[in-house]
Amino acid sequence: MMPRKTPGQSVVILALVLPFLLAFVLLVIEVSERWLEVAMVEDAVQQATRSAVQSLDYAVMATGADGLRGITRPCTGVTLSQAGDCAPLISVADRILRTNLMGVRGLGESHDALSARVRWTVLPNGGTCAYRDGSTRTETTPLICAEVSPVMTGIVGWGSYTPLITAADTLDQTHP
- SS3 letters across the chain: CCCCCCCCHHHHHHHHHHHHHHHHHHHHHHHHHHHHHHHHHHHHHHHHHHHHHHCCCHHHHHCCCCCECCECCCEEEECHHHCHHHHHHHHHHHHHHHHHHHHCCCECCCHHHHHHHCEEEEECCCEEEECCCCCEEEECCCEEEEEECCCEECCCCCCEECCCEEEEEECCCCCC
pLDDT of residue 154: 80
Residues of the chain where predicted confidence (pLDDT) is lower than 70 = 1-2, 5-8, 56-70, 172-176
pLDDT of residue 105: 87
pLDDT of residue 63: 66
pLDDT of residue 61: 59
Write the pLDDT tens digit of every residue in 49-87: 998 888 766 666 566 655 566 677 888 889 989 888 888
pTM: 0.80
